[in-house]
């Protein structure tokens, strides 16, 4: 008996070659992430950025990626941007912080082939009137015709449900689900992992894979930093890097390992320095991959 098998080796090698070449090229691009996504759309027609047919499942894949990106974001005290849920799809994402895992259910059955790992009880919290939140036994995020509902259970108490309007915020290095916004600013986007799928060999199931873009190019430093004693304001000229994410402000040289005292987002290039009279402040630019540029310094002189 002769068993005919499709030749999958060459297509796989071609896919690996494309990934390697594209990552190398895009790591030095002005906006590395945009370069990678552009390449997937224009150079490799068998590579897709959306792998799931069911809208509910597809939404939760994107939602999980957004949670992961938020957790890896170096900012704090800010509200993460999450994708809006589709209407009329029956799907639930169950997060188990204790078991460090998550499962998507569609029509009551677990969706196979999806991995939601490293959901840590050290990371996920729910809001019970404390800024850092508390660890729940489980969290359910349910899509359906009735809308979008977050439910959780703390210890052995009765489950609590929230209707649409919840947000996720970075607080004390953790992700905290809240019933409504606490007024925190939006976190600047920081993303390094990108999900793809490809029908490498026709007739075989699509191959799902992720590419980590190792952008190691530090952003350009800010220039023209100065302090105006009359208004107690520090201002500077923005970094020229196109993949800028936010600015860090330190009261010691960043090489000391000290945490920033301020993070400036949304293109902000000035801040009130009245609380730092007598100190030297250091301002650095941080790009979307988390690379931090050289520091520019200014002394806050007293009147």
**What digits encode the pLDDT tens for the residues 29-65?**
989 999 999 999 898 878 888 888 888 888 888 888 8
What is the arithmetic mean of pLDDT over 172-181? 83
Q: What is the pLDDT of residue 271?
A: 97
CATH of 223-299, one of 2.30.42.10, 3.30.1600.10, 2.60.40.10, 3.40.640.10: 2.60.40.10
pTM: 0.80
Q: Domain coordinates of the chain in residue numbers? A: 47-198, 223-299
Of 68-72, 162-166, 185-189, 211-215, the range with the lowest mean pLDDT is 162-166
Strand order in the sheet with 223-228: 223-228, 233-237, 270-272
Per-residue pLDDT band at 240 (split at 50, 70, 90): very high
- In angstroms, the CA 260 to CA 64 distance is 28
Statement: residue 1 has pLDDT above 60: no
Per-residue pLDDT band at 208 (split at 50, 70, 90): confident
Q: What is the pLDDT of residue 190?
A: 86
pLDDT > 90 fraction of the chain, expressed in percent and rounded: 30
Q: What is the pLDDT of residue 144?
A: 65
**What digits encode the pLDDT tens for the residues 87-131?**
667 788 888 877 777 888 887 888 877 767 766 667 888 887 777
Q: What are phi and psi of 269, to 5 degrees?
A: -125, 25
Residue of 112 and 228 predicted with greater confidence: 228
């Amino acid at each position: 008996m002769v068993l005919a098998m499709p030749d999958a080796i060459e297509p796989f090698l071609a896919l690996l070659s494309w990934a390697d070449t594209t990552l190398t090229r895009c790591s030095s691009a002005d906006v590395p992430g945009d370069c990678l996504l552009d390449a997937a759309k224009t150079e490799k027609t068998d590579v897709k950025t959306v792998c799931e047919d069911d809208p509910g499942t597809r939404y939760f894949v994107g939602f999980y990626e957004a949670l992961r990106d938020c957790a890896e974001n170096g900012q704090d005290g800010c509200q993460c941007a999450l994708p809006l849920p589709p209407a009329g799809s029956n799907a639930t994402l169950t997060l188990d912080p204790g078991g460090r895992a998550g499962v998507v259910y569609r029509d009551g059955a677990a969706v196979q082939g999806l991995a939601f790992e490293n959901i840590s009880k050290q990371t996920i919290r729910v809001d019970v009137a404390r800024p850092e939140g508390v660890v729940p036994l489980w969290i359910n995020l349910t899509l359906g015709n009735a809308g979008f509902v977050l439910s959780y259970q703390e210890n052995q108490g009765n489950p609590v449900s929230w209707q649409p309007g919840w947000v996720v915020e970075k607080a004390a290095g953790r992700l905290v689900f809240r019933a409504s916004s606490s007024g925190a600013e939006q976190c600047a986007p920081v993303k390094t992992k990108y999900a793809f799928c490809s029908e490498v060999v026709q007739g075989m199931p699509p191959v799902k894979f992720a590419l980590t873009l190792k952008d190691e190019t530090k952003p350009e430093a800010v220039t023209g930093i100065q302090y105006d004693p009359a208004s107690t304001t520090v201002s500077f000229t923005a970094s020229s890097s196109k993949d800028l994410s936010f600015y860090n402000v330190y009261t010691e040289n960043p090489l000391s390992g000290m945490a920033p005292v301020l993070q400036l987002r949304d293109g902000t290039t000035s801040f009130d320095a009245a609380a730092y009279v007598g100190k030297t402040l250091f301002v650095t630019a941080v790009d979307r991959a988390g690379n931090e540029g050289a520091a520019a310094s200014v002394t806050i002189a007293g009147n």
